[in-house]
Amino acid sequence: MPTVTRTRRMLDVSGAASVTAAAEEAAAEHGHRVVIAVVDAAGDLLALRRTDGAQTASVEVGIDKARTAATFVRPSRELEEQVSGGRLGALALHGAAALTGGIPLTVDGEVVGAIGTSGETPDEDESVSLAGAAARFSTVEVPALTYEGARLAAEAAGAAATARGVAPVVTVVDDAGALVYLWRPDRAQPASVGVATDKARTAAIYRRPSRDFEEQASNGRPSALHLARAVPLQGGIPIAHDGRVIGAIGVSGASSADEDHELAAIGMAAAEAAAEAPPPRATLFRAAEIRDRFTTGGLLAQARGYALDAGRRTGPGEVELHERVTDVMHVVQGTATVVTRGEGGEAHDVGPGDVLVIPAGVPHEFTGASDPFLYLVVKVEG
């Protein structure tokens, strides 16, 4: 079972206030008229302080500097230096402000937020931010969605879509709406990539299904269309753990809007169930149990991502093809001939102790087998 969640530190409101206070004290000491902005690790505003006499324009600039330092995980000075050194392409970086004055806030090497200052010279702005970053500030530990958790959710929805014969795009984002995983089958329409991501982001940052906003807009509240960064189309659902939203899943391009929502719910449920599942444990199969299972052949173990089968054959078989499963076969007793890649393909004569790996997507067929032919086969998904 993949690890669906991890723990991360997050700057809290009290911590943001401590950073702001230290920065404001440094500004006052030197007579600087500035705006001080503190954001979380995703670049979203937590605290803002505008000292007397600070220019109005510095409000947005200070936030931009802080956001840049948080999301690019480096002082914003580094981007300004790149531009000044001739790398003008850095000006096109989405969400970046190549202006000195933004400093990341870190705990044990992990960026938990950032501070940005604007209003005086670049060096003076940065000095105020550095003073704020040097302060003692509090954080809280919160659950976060892992890459494997995002993949599990997307592929659960994708498997359900495939079984239904539809080909939507499935996206999973973190709790701030940033893309973590995308599932896009060959038949999916290109436009669904952006739409699915928009739905997931809406569900993540508003902490509710995106369907809520579509229903509001369609039932007498068209102003829901003005909600910042929201796309009021159903198909986005939050993923929660321990009562906290840790991400969201979005689906676009199924047979209907309702089916988009249904598939997203399947992916969400898979991730939340996996997050609540107890840690996996090792399983020991004694020799006697394996011998008993070989008398008829059958499954020994099955979990998400793999299965272990005690195989028994007494002769040839039909052609098999597993699109997403790799077979790893270990021969225990007897001999057999396995032909891969269909009729006229490569023949493999196998006997006791031999191991044959048949990758996903490779047709294979037993053209002959002793009576009995016993083998253990691990079936690995992916």
Class of 146-276 in CATH: alpha beta
Q: Establish whether the linkage from the previous residue to 363 is cis, with ω within 30° of 0.
A: no
Whether 1 shows a pLDDT value over 60: the answer reads no
Neighbours of 374 (CB within 10 A): 22
Exposed / middle / buried, residue 131 (Cβ in 10 Å: 0-12, 13-18, 19+): buried
- Give the three-class secondary structure for 376: strand
- Angle of helix 13-29 relative to helix 122-133, nearest 10 degrees, comes to 130
Contact 69/104 with Cβ under 8 angstroms? yes
Neighbours of 66 (CB within 10 A): 36
Contact 76/102 with Cβ under 8 angstroms? yes
- Read off the pLDDT of each residue in 25-35 and give the average, rounded to a whole number: 98
Per-residue pLDDT reduced to its tens digit, 189-216: 999 999 999 999 999 999 999 999 999 9
Name the token pair of 332.
């225990």
Distance CA 17, CA 373 (A): 71
* 10-142 and 287-381, same CATH topology: no
Average pLDDT, whole number, for the chain? 95
Name the token pair of 313.
């054959």
Contact 36/24 with Cβ under 8 angstroms? yes
Query: What is 10-142's CATH number?
Result: 3.30.450.150
Residues 6+ apart with CB under 8 A from 200: 171, 172, 173, 177, 179, 236, 247, 248, 249, 250
Class of 287-381 in CATH: mainly beta
* Sequence spans of domains, the chain: 10-142, 146-276, 287-381
Minimal CA–CA distance to 274: which of 153, 111, 104? 153
Per-residue pLDDT reduced to its tens digit, 276-324: 988 778 999 999 999 999 999 999 998 878 999 999 999 999 999 988 8
Per-residue pLDDT reduced to its tens digit, 50-77: 999 999 999 999 999 999 999 999 999 9
- Give the three-class secondary structure for 103: strand
Alpha carbon of 185 to those of 171, 189, 200, 203, 265: distances in Å?
Answer: 12, 9, 18, 23, 19
Distance CA 16, CA 112 (A): 10
Minimal CA–CA distance to 19: which of 95, 87, 107? 107
pLDDT for 226: 92
At 21, the pLDDT band (50, 70, 90 cuts) reads very high
Q: Which phi and psi angles does 24 have, rounded to 5°?
A: -65, -40
Distance CA 9, CA 143 (A): 9
Task: Report residue 295 CA to chain centroid gap.
Answer: 44
